[in-house]
Structure 1
Amino acid sequence: MSLFAFLGAIEIGLIFALVALGVFLSFRVLNFPDLTVDGSFPLGAATTATLIVAGLDPVSATLVGVAAGALAGLVTAWLHVRFGILHLLASILTMIALWSINLRIMGKPNVALINQDTVIGLFAWLSPMIEAAGLPARASLKVVVLAIIVLVVGLALGRFLTSEFGLAMRATGANPRMARAQGISTKLHIYVGMALSNALVALAGALFAQTAGFADVTVGTGTIVNGLAAVILGETIFRTRSIVLMLLACVIGAVLYRTAIALALNTSWLGLQSSDLNLVTAVLVGVALMLPGVRNPLKTLFRRSA
């Protein structure tokens, strides 16, 4: 695999690390199966790209895209909490509606960001240092900027989940009946958690549009699969109860997952092509799902010898 392909895999992995953090928040913290992410990812991309083309600065456009994703999460939570619709069905309804909304926002199936200012461009002052290190300036700059954003978001999310409000949210997902008995407003925490989860996914979509140079209505297809695979792979590597290490595991899992896909597609002796992406994805997700249940023979051997 070439250096450019490797950097590209790291770039996509860091973008989907934000998706993994959002999926972790909904699935693991709130115990809320949420398919809204397949719609909120392109929502963030569509909103941000449309506003940048319209002349808004990239930071403000990205923030509006994040707010749009949070609103999508609130709609799913509202359907579930207010009307008692099954959480999975509520998220599917929102996801389906977002397909048409994204088309409305862009006015067409895709929007190109040609010669437009992006968030990555704000860090152009790092390019000389990257070139001095002997790395490709443009590709490496994207990786560095995305790594900084993921680091800041991860630290902020870790601080939030270890706060009093975050602990109450974790209690809501672990045992809602006990949480209500302790005076916790579970409805409020579901609203906030779902909004925050989809805001993170929309941020990933916004950054994807700015790094890839386009927003398309179909870019959200399979987002939930990528997010879950990253979470499960990370949890398999880091089996811990520490919330900080769990968040770190999500990030590492996302990067390793996308790197494994790129490695498989760029390994000539396997004979795989770009059209085999879905096959490779399905195999890797299946392996990630099986790994937690696989027994480690070394552990069994050590126990017997002890």
Structure 2
Amino acid sequence: MNLISLIGAVEIGLVFALVALGVYISFRVLDFPDLTVDGSFPLGAAVAAAMISGGINPITGTLAAIVAGCLAGIVTAWLNIRFGILHLLAGILTMTALFSVNLRIMGRPNIPLMNQPTVIDLFAWLRPLVEASGLPGRPTLKVLALLIIVSVVGALLARFLTSEFGLAMRATGANPRMAQAQGIPTEMHTYIGVAMANGLVALAGALFAQTAGFADVTVGTGTAIAGLAAVILGETIFRTRSIVIGIFSCVFGAIAYRIAIALALNTGWLGLQSSDLNLVTAVLVAMALILPKVANPMRSLLKRSAT
């Protein structure tokens, strides 16, 4: 794998780090399995691309994408809480509806964003640093810009989840009955948590459209699996109950996951092609799930032999 491929893998890994953070909120913090992300990711890309191509400021377009993602999450939570629809089914219903919504927003299946202003242009002040490093200019600038954005979002999320409101949200996911007994409005926290999760995923979609140079209605396929894979991989490497380390593990897992995929697809002797992406994803997720269970019996065996 050459340098350009590595930088590209890190770039897409940073984008999907935001997806991983969204999945972390819904799956881990709230214990709310949510498949809406397969629709909210292209929703964010569609809103941002439609607004930017229409001459609207990219910051406004990105913020609008976040709001749209939050609204999608609220719809899923509403279907679950108000009508008792199973989490997964509520997410599937919203995701299915969003496909048509995204087509309506875009007006066509694909919107190119080549030569359009993006949020990456706000980080032009980093260009001298990139040029001094001798690394490829535009790709490296995008990586640094995404790294700053992900770091800020991760820090804000860590601060939120360690606040009193965030602790109440975590209690809602850990034990809703006990949380209700303590006077915590669990339904409100579920609404806010699912909205935040999908807002982060929509932000990732908006950034993906601006870094990749296009938005397409099909870019959300497999987003939930990719986000969950990043979370599982990060948790496998960093086994901790700390929220701060947990958030860092999601970011690290997303980058490591994308680098692993790039290595697998660029290794000639494996004979893999770009069409094998889903196969590689399934294998990586399975390995991340299996390895901790394989390690535990070995640890128990060592303890027995020591005694």
1:124 partner SS: helix
SS where residue 147 of structure 1 aligns?
Answer: helix
Equivalences for residues 146-185 of structure 1 within 5 A: 146-185=146-185
Q: Could you give the per-residue CA deviations for residues 140-162 of structure 1, whole angstroms, max 9, x where no partner exists?
A: 00110000011000000000000
Give 2:198's aligned residue: 198
Specify the alignment match of 2:87 in structure 1: 87
Query: What corresponds to 1:258 in structure 2?
Result: 258
Query: Which residue in 1 is equivalent to 2:107?
Result: 107
Alignment of 1:1-306 (within 5 A): 1-295=1-295, 297=298, 300-301=301-302, 304-305=305-306
Task: Determine the C-alpha separation between the residues in 2 that align with 1:299 and 1:17.
Answer: 34
So what's the TM-score if we normalise by structure 1? 0.98
Shift of 1:94: 0.2
**Length, aligned pairs only:** 306
Q: What do residues 238-267 of structure 1 show as CA deviations (whole Å, max 9, x unaligned)?
A: 111101111111110110000000001111
- Give the C-alpha shift of residue 41 in structure 1: 0.1
Q: 2-side partners of 1:80 and 1:301: how far apart?
A: 46
Unmatched 5+ residue regions in structure 2? none
Measure how far apart 1:125 and its partner are: 2.0
Partners of 1:30 and 1:12 lie apart in 2 by: 26
Moved over 6 A (4+): none
**Cα distance in 2 between the residues matched to 1:118 and 1:248:** 26
Aligned-residue RMSD, C-alpha? 1.1
| Cα displacement string for residues 198-251 of structure 1 (whole angstroms, at most 9, x for unaligned residues) | 000000000000000000000000000000000011111111110111111111
d(CA) in 2 for partners of 1:161, 1:298: 32
SS at match of 1:295: helix
How far is the alpha carbon of 1:270 from its aligned partner? 1.3
Q: Take 1:131 and 1:269, find their aligned partners in 2: how far apart are those partners?
A: 35
TM-score normalised to the size of structure 2?
0.98
**Matches of 1:277 and 1:295, distance apart in 2:** 27
Q: Unmatched 5+ residue regions in structure 1? A: none
Question: Deviation of residue 299 (structure 1)?
Answer: 6.6
| Cα distance in 2 for residues equivalent to 1:239 and 1:119 | 34
State, as a whole percentage, how many aligned pairs show the same letter. Answer: 71
Which deviations, in whole Å up to 9, do the C-alpha atoms of 1:9-29 show, x marking residues without a partner? Answer: 000101110000000000000
- What's the CA shift string for 1:99-142, capped at 9, x where partnerless? 00000000000100021000011111211211111111111001
How far apart are residue 301 of structure 1 and its match?
Answer: 2.7
Aligned equivalents of 1:193, 1:38: Cα separation in 2: 17
Q: Distance in 1 between matches of 2:281 and 2:27?
A: 20
Q: Deviations over 1:45-68 (max 9, x none)?
A: 000000000011111100000100
